[in-house]
Amino acid sequence: MDVSVTLFGGLRHFLPAGSSFNKCTIKIDDGSRLDALLRLLPIPPEKKFIVIINDQKVSREDYADIAINGDDDVVLLPPIKGG
């Protein structure tokens, strides 16, 4: 299935080739978990981010347990500060 993923802030520079400004579509197997989805994004391991699915913050320890659906709105935010 195809899942839409949005990468905000500087994370957008790690979108797969051919993506629009800050969105990409990732093809994953039905029943895949969030950690599998994240492994398909070319984000360097040292880059920190938080994940929001359908406006709900997801805890890091739950990444392997959360099943992804095709209509999920997956957002990755860099934890920047100030401004």
Partner 1 sequence: MAWQKQILRVNLTTGSCDIEPLNMEWAEAYLGSRGLGTKYLYEEMDPAADALSAENKIIFATGPLTGTMASTGGRYTVVTKGALTGAIACSNSGGKFGGELKMAGYDLLIIEGVSEKPVYLHIEDDKVELCDAGEIWGKTVWETEDLLAAKYRDPLMRFAGIGQAGETLCRYACVVNDKHRAAGRSGVGAVMGSKNLKTIAVRGTKGVRAKDPKAFYKIVNEVNARMTDREEMARDGTLAMIDVTNGFGSLPTNNNRSVRFEGANKLNPEAMHTPNENGHTNIVTNGACFGCTIGCGRICKIDPTHFSVKDRPEYHGASGGLEYETAYALGSACGVDDIDAATFAGFICNEYGMDPISLGGTIAAAMELYDIGAIDDSVTGGIKLEFGSAEALCQIAELTGKGEGFGADIAMGSKRLCEKYGHPDLSMSVKGQEFAAYDGRSMQGMGLAYATSNRGACHLRADPYGHDFETTEIAGKAKVVAESQRDVAFLDSSGLCLFPGGCGWGLEDYRTLVDAACESDWNAERMAETGERIWVLEKLYNLKAGLGKKDDTLPKRILEEPADVGTGKGLVCRLDEMLPEYYQLNGWDAEGVPTAETLKRLNLS
Q: Which residues bind partner 1 (CB under 8 A)?
A: 6, 8-10, 13, 21-22, 50, 52, 55-57, 75, 77-83
DSSP secondary structure, the chain, as one string: -EEEEEE-GGGGGGSPTT--SSEEEEE--TT-BHHHHHHTS---TT---EEEETTEEE-GGGTTTPBP-TT-EEEEE------
Taking the least distance from each CB to partner 1, the nearer of 21 and 71 is: 21
Q: How far is the CB of 52 from partner 1 (least distance, A)?
A: 6
Taking the least distance from each CB to partner 1, the nearer of 31 and 54 is: 54
